[in-house]
Amino acid sequence: MRFSRAQIILLVILILVFSAALWLFIPLRQTARKDILYGRAFVAGVVRVRPLLDRPFSSMVSALTGNHAAMDNIPFIIRPLVPPVMEFYLQGGNGGAEWAIVADLGWRSRLFRMLHGVIMGQMQYRGMGAIEGEHILRTPAGDRILFYQDGRTLFIAEGENVIAKITGPDSVAGTGTERADIQKPAADAGDRKTIASVSFTNIDGDITRGAGMLEDKAGFILLPSSGSLMRGSVDIRKTGGAALVCTIALTAREDGDAAGLEGDVTYILALLDRFLSAQNMKTDSSLAREENRITVNIMIHSDGESQ
């Protein structure tokens, strides 16, 4: 069987297209830049993105002021490129807490790099900020947000110190201090019911300072015993139906007021219940304290249906 010239040309074009498509979806290299963020963080966590779009999480997010507009401003071209799992870190800065979001883009990495300029332009067009240089977006409030990709890893960060750590030469080697007082976030690829896992430490007083800043903005005291908190963790999972289970584990300092911390947690649980009740959601919670350790279990049901 002999091929005509047109058939040969078509076959060559198909081979080239297939090769280009295959190359496009091959992930870029890994990077060690994020390791330096973990060494400096007082809060570290991992969250799965897709469950946030389902109830009851979507109902809670929509209830927060301004989130409808914020979600509408996300460029449509970004949504298919959003990775399923993201890590986030909070660390202290000169002007307060600075944050960073880290995502492994995987097969999206080459596409995201090719579309970087388009994505930045779309965010500027939609009023999310003005482009400064290649990787910075300055928001209307004056904050500088970094959108930086190294290999297959995407960094989104705010704060001069954390931006310098991500883009600086020292971060390439991933040099950072391992912390024994905070659990390093790690997504369990086999457990699709896990939505978020967060670990935090207050050994250096970062949580206390953060709580004080929130209280100043809110105009009332929310966590007066925050100085007694030493460390903690939060895990959120989906259950059958549209329900969430949240487990909170807190450890008070040996010389702290564990009873006062327990009272503050009880107060916050009551506020949460009132907020969710207004969104037609029901909470069932239990709290237990053993010496300086406090464990809270919360189940959140949609449509006020308790199980």
pLDDT at 76: 60
> What average pLDDT score do residues 204-211 get?
86
Between 51-55, 64-68, 183-187, the lowest mean confidence (pLDDT) is in 64-68
Across all residues in the chain, what is the average pLDDT?
Answer: 79
pLDDT at 174: 46
pLDDT at 265: 93
Cβ neighbors of 10 (< 8 A, separation 6 or more) are none
DSSP element (H, E) containing 261: helix 258-277
pLDDT at 57: 57
> What average pLDDT score do residues 19-34 get?
79
> What average pLDDT score do residues 32-47 get?
80
pLDDT at 251: 94
Q: Read out DSSP for 84-104?
A: SEEEEEEEEETTEEEEEEEEE
Confidence tier at 67 by pLDDT (50, 70, 90): very low
Q: Taking Cα atoms as reference points, which of 111, 181, 120 lies closest to residue 146?
A: 120
pLDDT at 93: 65
Cβ neighbors of 179 (< 8 A, separation 6 or more) are 38, 39, 41, 201
CA distance 250 to 234: 9
Taking residue 186's Cβ as centre, other Cβ atoms within 10 Å add up to 11
Listed by start position, the domains of the chain span 27-185, 202-307
Q: Which two tokens stand for residue 141?
A: 């409030």
Give the model confidence (pLDDT) of 241-258 as tens digits.
Answer: 667 889 999 999 999 999
259 and 286 Cβ atoms separated by less than 8 Å = no
Q: Which residue has the higher pLDDT, 67 or 248?
A: 248
pLDDT beyond 80 at 24:
no
Confidence tier at 221 by pLDDT (50, 70, 90): confident
- Whole-structure pTM value: 0.76
> What average pLDDT score do residues 290-295 get?
93
Between 51-65, 70-84, 120-134, 222-236, the lowest mean confidence (pLDDT) is in 51-65
pLDDT at 269: 92
Q: How far is CA 182 from CA 34, 38, 109, 231, in A?
A: 16, 9, 29, 8
Confidence tier at 234 by pLDDT (50, 70, 90): very high
Between 51-65, 93-107, 137-151, the lowest mean confidence (pLDDT) is in 51-65
pLDDT at 68: 46
> What average pLDDT score do residues 224-245 get?
86
pLDDT beyond 90 at 28:
no
Q: Taking Cα atoms as reference points, which of 182, 165, 181, 183 lies closest to residue 173?
A: 165
pLDDT at 203: 87
CA 305 to chain centroid: 29
